[in-house]
Structure 1
């Protein structure tokens, strides 16, 4: 009896503490039961912030689903198992066709053969064929077996290239490009050299175009002729300056120097043919040189 009395015997201060504790508990209980904790604020579920949040959640779900999908690594389609074929989306019939083909000790060497054997759809073939990995010797064999076919439309008549003129001194770059072996560069080069000469005066001057092969030059001469000879501005050999004489396409520095020394020696040339008296004068170029000179 004394034991129970010791546990339930309190002094005045302890009884007051217990009393206040009970009062506080009752007050909290009343607040919880009768208190209104609801909020008057309405949340707009269609606001831009809420929609953006849902969109972000959806994108994270999509990424997670993609990550959970089994990844496909390059593989040899000859060794597809039942489990592998099911993962790729093949039906049981398609897998069985492949296994039966392999049991006959035959091998598939291209995606076209794979479709012929399994009879899978084009859409599925386009999905899985990029992962096909054949041995190097098979790839090399397939590349060597490829043939290129060139189709010609016989319904369209062959259009012959038309030139604007047959006069070599009036022909345009497009005219020269009709000759086999002459493209953009050579056609422009011919015109540039023709301008330097002030026009072709001799047929064989076409052979002087730098880089133009003899066979191609002969093709030019077979199409174009010198119909009208050019009018060349001639300069007086007795009054021409050293710099002006060097502009002659057939006179280099050494020959120009010899001509001036000869002119100083004879004082004045009476006839242009006197140039032949110059030591080591290139007689093979005489008819071209004198195209641009006159003795007055």
Structure 2
């Protein structure tokens, strides 16, 4: 056994030298591995200071930029000028009084159909308009403030004496009619077409449609302020100038009296003047004593009159007109106006009002 081990672990001279060298190399490598970290310490970079400096710079940059951005610009957003509130306008940089002027314009029937319409507001400067123009949005299909062409009838009219119903037939809205009525009731007059065009409630495109149908009767020269309290006027034959000789009758009221007289076919009684919308009770009490009536009644022949002629009469409404025409169609001809009540075609109350204005001959 000993001999076996001795033979197995015995080395030649060359092998011993190689083993010694290998052992020395291994010991050197171990020493280097142990001593190298001690000799050359790894330097750890600390980025905390750098990160703090970056954060400080960014915060300073944001603060600087916010100082250069006006507050109004940061709050700007798209608005529809037809529905915008006072706060919306002020957010765009307009003054409080400017926003109130715009809202007052809208409330009185005005409307913006395109951005450039804002320039009509005299309190807005060119510089302000250029600043807010990118933030103005008007829907393309904005509904106009008057009726579509298919729902209106165009005819000649004098805006100084046109009734509310006729204005509606021309396509004007309730707001527009109210504005015009207020203007006339306060003594305003339309002397030419341009005066009607100046009404802020009438948009340019609507005026262009109506312009060729506007006929304004020349307003008579102003009559002396001295009225004759003993003067008597026949309301069935007087013209505008004669009516205005009576204290309390303005040109507007005179035109309305004549227009109502034509629609009726003549006045049976002075009391019928109270039926005119522009006739105020106080005015009637003042002028009543100077008015009289003559028997000048124009009768409406029911057998020859058309639907439009009958329904136009102030005392005959749509339903009554239809009933009369149906009865005439059945009977071929109406022999007497008494038939209308005897056959219950119209009520007694309507008959009493219209009997003087209708005939069958």
Using structure 2 for the length normalisation, give the TM-score: 0.33
Using structure 1 for the length normalisation, give the TM-score: 0.39
Larger Rg: 1
